[in-house]
Amino acid sequence: MAILENIRKRTTVLILVIALALFAFIISGIFTADNFGGGKVGSSVAEVNGEDISVDAFRSKMDIATRNNSGNISSMQLVNNVYDQEVRNAILSQQFDDLGINIEEDQIMNYIKNIPGYAQSPQFLNENGIFDEGKFRDFILDMKDRNDGSYQLWLQDEKNIIQSNKEQTYYNLIKAGVGATLKEGELDYKLANDKMDLRYVRIPFSSIADSSITVSKSEIESYINSHKEDFKQEKSRDIQFVYFEEKPSAADEASAKSAVVNLMSDRPEYNESTKQTDTIIGFKNTANTGDFLDRYSDIKFDTIFKAKNELPALFADSLMSLKVGETYGPYRDGDYFKISKMVARKKEGSVKASHILVAYEGAQRANPDVTRTKEEAEARAKELLRDAKKSGADFAELAKTNSDGGSAPQGGDLGFFRKERMVPAFSDFAFGNRIGTIGMVETEFGFHVIKVDDKQDLVQIGHLARLIEASEETMNTLFTDATKFEMATLSGDKNFPDVAKEGNYAVRTYKARVLDENIPGLGAQRSIVQWIFNEDTDLGDIKRFNVNNGYAIAQLTAVYREGTMSVEDASPMVLPLIRKERKAAQIIAANQGKTLEEIASAPNLSIANASSMTVKSPTIPGAGNEPVVVGTAYAMNEGDTSGLIEGETGIFIINVTKKEPAAQLDNYSTYANTLTTARTSRVTSAVYNALKEASDIEDNRATFY
């Protein structure tokens, strides 16, 4: 504890040292040419285009990430984050090597000079107040000479910073070749602003029943083989499980309720030392509520007075209606059974008020824009006071348009507050006047026109509470039930769902991927995921796991290999696509050669209109998003009628009734620049994703984590 206290006292110093160390890496590595991390050590956590990421180096990165983790993400999420970064570094480093990209000492030093935290640090400034490279180098050498163990960590950070600088150089080279011509800018402008009016008929695909389209298994298989890229699947497993949760039984709930009820009234108790029967005062009659609750209750006595909105919402009205000394309950509130007692009440201990603040120059916290004098502020406040007191005046509206306070957007509403929260003059007025009173007071913030909106009591309530928790008997029963279920499923006499049904247990299912950590309904259960992906686990195997608050009996029900999906697994996705193709062919064959009017004459069809259509907004009223249809219309001349067009929701025939070209501009550089900005902003992610897609990556994370 003494060490922790010393660290807390030196937080500012530590932050400065760590920050300086971060950039010290850059110089130290360049000057010393030290090699950190070495080559291949042990097994690899991944292989990227033939290059190993050793598990030892990976674990070193994990140690750093774990120390820096504030607890917001789980250990498996840390693994994934470090893995993604290491794979990224490996892929990009290979590109850097191919292109000869490197970061030189002078580049890095110039980078440091542009960082105010270092360029302006007195530690690195010379007598003229200018950043001194020599002092910076001396600082780095001093860190190395101290050899306190942190130097190696700094070297690792140095590698990361150099990597980031190389990435910036690499992406800047690519961005330099990305742009847009004026002609492209002109086209982009026209696609957004050239407008079209259409007459159209749509024959929806839903006009043909799905049941009328018969698709064989071989046709589905053929479709999958023709579109393999669309039906790739990761390695995954299906499991089903039953969760036996450790939770209180009805008997446990009744026991908690009985416990508080038995403490309510006075009771006799034999005193072994005096050999007499004493009367133990109950909660209802005790004169010292605090001592009683500290001794008998699972919730200790809270002396703080509370407003109604701070009490349990379901019981607030009942609790507020109690008189001092009265009790309410027993009742269940969350995981407790309670009997509550009104210990004390502060009449009108909380006030709700609104105000209009008129500040003046020099007043505390006054906005710099306020230039009125104190005398002008007082005169203005008196004027607003008269307006507020007029019959039918809207105080909230006056506050919105005239108050200098932060509550102006809320009509000056300050909500409920206690007396000590406000400055004395303000509190004295709010608490000393009746509801509806409007008046003016002066404080160090300016002049306030105050309206007392409401008042409420504050109460001090003691809760005699007993936690509802599972008893030892309940835990033993749960263990027995889980064991019986496990043995019944392992016997093989009945399948897993049937055994669950007999015991009235809910069967849950989940499709897990190899690196999953959480299972819905069970939380973080990496051990279960590791088991179902273990080579020794066979389809149909059953295993029991001790999980948070109970047990889970799980069974492996399906195995999916990495690659193309099977016919059975892909069928739900493929069937709608094949049906759509067949329906489109049928509709086109039945309407080939017909005019727009002839098609519209069929039952349930009609000619519809769409106006001001643009290619950039290809939504057709009544039909939805139809980019192919609108794009076809854009290429047509005014007055032309199309052939049959296969859209997203049906087959269309369109007639372009009007084309309204956008006004010509003198220059389209603005649109060209916008395109350039949009394209360059996508470079980093698009280039890396393309490189990753083209890389040969062997992921071995699941072997180690």
Name 357's bridge partners.
Answer: 448
pLDDT of residue 511: 94
Name 438's bridge partners.
Answer: 451
Residue type, 1: M
Q: How far apart are CA 669 and CA 675, in angstroms?
A: 10
Of the candidates 167, 85, 50, 115, the one whose C-alpha atom is nearest the C-alpha of residue 687 is 167
Name 451's bridge partners.
Answer: 354, 438
Residue range 364-385, pLDDT digits in tens? 988 888 999 999 999 999 999 9
Of the candidates 597, 602, 514, the one whose C-alpha atom is nearest the C-alpha of residue 562 is 514
Please tell me whether the overall predicted TM-score, pTM, comes out greater than 0.75 for this model: no
pLDDT of residue 267: 86
pLDDT of residue 35: 35
660 neighbors 195 (Cβ within 8 angstroms): yes
Q: How far apart are CA 174 and CA 133, in angstroms?
A: 32
Q: How far apart are CA 204 and CA 581, in angstroms?
A: 13
Burial bucket for residue 346 (CB in 10 Å: 0-12, 13-18, 19+): middle
Name 464's bridge partners.
Answer: 339
pLDDT of residue 37: 35
User: Which residues are within 8 A (CB) of 257 and not within 5 positions of it... i.e. 6 or more apart?
Assistant: 330, 332, 337, 466
668 neighbors 648 (Cβ within 8 angstroms): no
Phi-psi region at 412: left, alpha or beta (left = phi > 0; alpha = psi -120 to 50): left
Q: How far apart are CA 577 and CA 50, in angstroms?
A: 39
Phi-psi region at 11: left, alpha or beta (left = phi > 0; alpha = psi -120 to 50): alpha
State phi, psi for 137 to the nearest 5 degrees.
-65, -40
Outline where DSSP puts E strands in 425-502.
438-443, 446-467
Q: How far apart are CA 461 and CA 342, in angstroms?
A: 5
Residue range 1-55, pLDDT digits in tens? 333 333 333 333 333 333 333 333 334 443 333 333 333 334 899 999 999 999 9
Of the candidates 670, 636, 630, 614, the one whose C-alpha atom is nearest the C-alpha of residue 190 is 614
For residue 365, the SS3 value is coil
pLDDT of residue 150: 66
Residue range 394-445, pLDDT digits in tens? 999 999 999 999 999 999 999 999 999 999 999 999 999 999 999 999 999 9
Q: How far apart are CA 139 and CA 22, in angstroms?
A: 12
The ranges of the chain with pLDDT < 50 are: 1-42
